[in-house]
Structure formats: C-alpha cells, structure tokens
Amino acid sequence: MIMTEVHGRFLRCRPGGFREKPATVSRVDLYWFDDTGRGQVRVPASWHLFYRDGGAWKPVTTADAFGVEKDRYNTVRFTPITTTGLRIEVTAQADFSIGIQEWKAR
C-alpha cells in the first residue's frame, strides 16, 4: 500500500507493494528521520500525498499542511478515499538525503 518517490525514482516499497483489496483511509502520519549533527539525512523541503485511482495517481483533498517537523508525527487528514495504494512525492533539501522513520495510514 505504501510507495515513496523522490524526483521520479522510487525510494522504497514496503513488502507486499499494493493491496489487492481496496482500503478506505482519511489520514496519514509521517515521522521523518533526521540525523542532524551525525549524518546527511534531513527532513524534506516539501512533500505531497497521492492515492491510486485505477491506473492514475490523484492528489488527496485536504486543507492540512504537509508538515516537515522533526521529532514528531506530521499528520495530514483528508477526504476519505478508497484505494489500493498511496504514494508520497518528496522534494529533498539541497545536498541532503531524506528518510522516513515511520508512516501510518488510517
């Protein structure tokens, strides 16, 4: 159900990939990995969430900001959707990698 993408290249796909049976979701919680002071991974500059609708990817409908705060979950609530997959498109900060510590879809 979860796939991430950075500048058009897939970063990581959780084992199992897409769900065969659609699930209804209306919220995601992202905890960004940031190792400031120890390494080269930072929270991203920005990100957006998409859901799979047949063969197309569509943006979720939300008034929430797509947060990039470190040391906490960044929650986005959106109009409920029924889908077999979610995707985030991430823009990294210049000269840094990005990492996701945990991603919850509810």
User: What are the pLDDT digits (tens) for 67-97?
Assistant: 999 999 999 999 999 998 899 999 999 999 9
Write the CATH number for 89.
2.60.120.260
Count up the domains in the chain and report the number: 1
User: Measuring CA to CA, which residue among 39, 38, 57 is closest to residue 49?
Assistant: 57
Distance of CA 80 to the CA centre of its chain: 16
Q: Residue 2 — very low, low, confident or very high, per pLDDT cuts 50/70/90?
A: very low
Q: Is the pLDDT of residue 59 over 90?
A: yes
pLDDT at 13: 46
Residue 95's φ and ψ, nearest 5 degrees, are 70, 15
Mean pLDDT of the chain: 85
Q: How far apart, in whole angstroms, are the C-alpha atoms of residue 60 and residue 86?
A: 10
Express as a percent the part of the chain with pLDDT over 70: 82
Q: In angstroms, rounded to a whole number, what is the distance separating the alpha carbons of residues 59 and 17?
A: 19
Answer for the pair 30, 70: CB distance below 8 angstroms, yes or no: no
Enclosing domain of residue 69: 2-105
Give which of 60, 56, 57 is closest to 48, Cα–Cα: 60
